[in-house]
Chain A
Amino acid sequence: MSPPLLGSKKRTPIASALRRAKKGRRAAFIPYITAGDPHLDATPRLVEALEEAGADIVELGVPFSDPMADGPVNQRAAYRALQAGTTLSGILDQLTARRDRIRVPIVLFTYLNPIVAMGVDEFVERAAHAGVAGVLCVDAPPEEIEHDLVAELRRRGIDPIFLLAPTSSRERIKRVAKLASGFVYYVSRLGITGEQAALAPQLISEVKRLRRRVGVPVAVGFGISTAEQVQAVGEVADGVVVGSALVRVVEEGAEAGLSTAEIAERLGARAAELLSNR
Chain B
Amino acid sequence: MAKPRLSTSYPDERGYFGPYGGRFVAETLMGPIEELERAYRKAQKSRQFRRELEQLLKDYCGRPTPLYHARRLSEELGGAQIYLKREDLLHTGAHKINNALGQALLTRRMGKPRVIAETGAGQHGVATATAAALLGLECVVYMGTEDMERQRLNVYRMRLLGAEVVGVDSGSRTLKDAINEALRDWVTNVETTHYILGSVLGPHPFPAMVRDFHSVIGEEARRQLREQTGRWEPDVAIACVGGGSNSIGLFRAFLDSRKVRLIGVEAGGSGGGLGEHAARFEGGSLGVLQGTRTLVLQDQAGQVAPTASVSAGLDYPAIGPEHVFLYERGRIEFTSADDARAVEAFHRLAHTEGILPALETAHAIAEVLELAPRLGRKQIVLVNLSGRGDKDVESVMAWDRRHGEQAAEDQEDPS
Contacts and interface: CB of A to CB of B under 8 A. Distances in A.
Contacts of B176: 66
Contact of A139 (B26, B285, B296): B26
B190 A66 contact: no
Contact of A187 (B28, B289, B290): B28
Contact of B287 (A67, A116, A163, A164): A116
A67 B180 CA distance: 7
A66 B201 CA distance: 15
A276 interface: no
A60 B142 CA distance: 30
A141 B302 contact: no
Contact of B296 (A88, A113, A169): A113
B27 A117 contact: no
Interface residues of B, number: 41
B184 interface: yes
B31 A68 contact: no
Nearest to A70: B184
Given A68-B184, A113-B288, A139-B24, A190 B302 contact: no
A84 interface: no
B303 interface: yes
Interface string B267-287: 000000000000000000111
Nearest to A82: B303
A141 B23 contact: yes
A192 B27 CA distance: 11
Given A113-B296, A113-B298, A192-B187, A141 B27 contact: yes
Nearest to A89: B301
Interface in A35-92: 64-69, 71, 75, 79, 82, 87-89
A165 B31 contact: yes
B170 interface: yes
A144 interface: yes
Q: Is the contact region of chain B dominated by helix, strand, or loop, or is it mixed?
A: mixed
Contacts of B300: 117
Interface in A161-186: 162-169, 172, 176
Given A68-B183, A143-B14, A113 B27 contact: no
A222 to B, nearest CB: 9
Q: Which of B23, B34, B184, B187 has the most CB of A within 10 A?
A: B184
B62 interface: no
Contacts of A176: 27
B184 A192 contact: yes
B30 A117 contact: no
A167 B24 contact: no
Contacts of B187: 69, 190-192
Interface string A108-139: 00011111111000000000000000000011
Contacts of A68: 26, 179-180, 183-184, 290
B30 A141 contact: yes
Contact of A113 (B28, B32, B170, B304): B304
B171 interface: yes
B188 interface: yes
Contacts of B34: 169
A275 interface: no
Q: Which of B28, B29, B170, B190 has the most CB of A within 10 A?
A: B28
A68 to B, nearest CB: 5
Given A113-B296, A144-B22, A144-B23, A163 B28 contact: yes
Nearest to B27: A163
A187 B300 CA distance: 31
B25 interface: yes
A67 B289 CA distance: 10
B319 to A, nearest CB: 15
B400 interface: no
A204 interface: no
B22 to A, nearest CB: 6
Q: Which of B293, B302, B303 has the most CB of A within 10 A?
A: B302
Contacts of B286: 116
B290 A66 contact: yes
A191 B27 contact: no
A167 B304 contact: no
A115 B187 CA distance: 23
B7 interface: no
A149 to B, nearest CB: 11
Contacts of A167: 27-32, 190
Contacts of B24: 112, 139-141, 144
Q: 6 closest A-B pairs (Cβ-Cβ)?
A: A117-B302, A167-B31, A114-B302, A191-B188, A165-B28, A163-B27
Given A114-B301, A191-B188, 13 more contacts: A66-B171, A67-B180, A68-B179, A113-B302, A116-B286, A116-B293, A139-B288, A140-B288, A141-B25, A167-B27, A167-B30, A167-B32, A169-B31
Interface of A: 64-69, 71, 75, 79, 82, 87-89, 111-118, 138-141, 143-144, 162-169, 172, 176, 187, 190-192
25 contacts: A65-B171, A66-B176, A66-B289, A66-B304, A68-B180, A75-B170, A79-B170, A112-B288, A113-B296, A116-B287, A139-B26, A139-B288, A141-B25, A141-B26, A143-B14, A144-B22, A144-B23, A164-B27, A167-B30, A187-B27, A190-B187, A190-B189, A191-B28, A191-B187, A192-B188
